[in-house]
Chains A and B, each alone.
Chain A
Amino acid sequence: MATETLKPDLADTGASEELEPPHRQPDPPATATFRVWRGDREGGQLVDYTTSVSPGMVVLDAIHQIQADQANDLAVRWNCKAGKCGSCSAEVNGMPKLMCMTRLSELPLEKPVTVEPMRSFPPVKDLVTDVSWNFRVKTRIKPFRPRAPDAADGTWRMTQPDVDRVQEFRKCIECFLCQDVCHVLRDHQLQEEFIGPRFLVHVAALEMHPLDVEDRVADLRRAHGIGYCNITKCCTQVCPEHITITDNAIIPLKERVVDEFFDPLGRVLKVFSRGGKA
Chain B
Amino acid sequence: MGHAQLPVVPSGLGATMRPDRWWVQPAIVFLLLSTFIVYATWAAFQGEHYTHGPYLSPFYAPELFGASSHAWFGPRPAWWPAWLVFSPALLILPFPGIFRVTCYYYRGAYYKAFWADPPACAVGEPRKRYRGEAAFPLILQNVHRYFLYVALGFLFLLATDVYKAMWFTDPVTGPTSFGIGVGTLVLLANVTLLGGYTLGCHSLRHIVGGYLDQLSRFPARKRLYDCSSCLNRAHMRWAWTSLFSVAFADLYVRLCSMGVWSDWRIV
Using a CB–CB cutoff of 8 Å, the interface residues on chain B facing chain A are 1, 3-9, 11, 16-20, 104-105, 107-108, 111-112, 117-118, 121-122, 124-125, 128, 130-135, 138-139, 142-146, 202-203, 205-207, 210-218, 222, 232-233, 235
Interface 0/1 of A221-265, CB less than 8 Å to B: 000010111111110011000000011000110111111011101
* Contact with A232, one of B8, B118, B232 (Cβ below 8 angstroms): B118
Interface 0/1 of A104-122, CB less than 8 Å to B: 0000100100101101011
* Contact with A227, one of B118, B125, B134, B235 (Cβ below 8 angstroms): B134
- With contacts A189-B3, A262-B143 taken as known, whether A161 is within 8 angstroms of B222 at the C-beta atoms is yes
Q: Please list 8 pairs of residues, one from A and one from B, whose beta carbons are closer than 8 Å in the complex, sorted by A's number.
A: A94-B122, A119-B6, A162-B213, A184-B132, A188-B128, A252-B210, A254-B104, A263-B145
Chain B residues with Cβ below 8 Å from A261 are 142
A111 to B20, CA, bound (A): 12
* Contact with B118, one of A42, A183, A229, A237 (Cβ below 8 angstroms): A183
A149 interface residue per 8 A CB criterion: no
Chain B residues with Cβ below 8 Å from A73 are none
A187 x B3 contact (CB < 8 A):
no
* Contact with A186, one of B122, B134, B144 (Cβ below 8 angstroms): B122
A162 x B216 contact (CB < 8 A):
yes
A278 x B3 contact (CB < 8 A):
no
A259 to B20, CA, bound (A): 41
A44 x B118 contact (CB < 8 A):
no
Chain A residue nearest to B138 (CB atoms) is A230
A42 to B108, CA, bound (A): 36
Specify the main secondary structure of chain A where it touches its partner.
Answer: mixed
Shortest 9 CB-CB contacts between residues of A and residues of B? A227-B134, A94-B17, A94-B18, A234-B121, A255-B206, A228-B132, A231-B108, A262-B142, A188-B130
A256 to B211, CA, bound (A): 7
A122 x B1 contact (CB < 8 A):
no
A95 interface residue per 8 A CB criterion: yes
Stretch among A7-15, A78-86, A205-213 lining the B interface:
A205-213
A41 to B146, CA, bound (A): 49
A116 x B202 contact (CB < 8 A):
no
B133 x A230 contact (CB < 8 A):
yes
State how many angstroms separate the Cβ of B233 from the closest Cβ of chain A.
8
A251 x B202 contact (CB < 8 A):
yes
Chain B residues with Cβ below 8 Å from A119 are 5-6, 9
B1 x A44 contact (CB < 8 A):
no
A266 interface residue per 8 A CB criterion: yes
A39 x B3 contact (CB < 8 A):
no
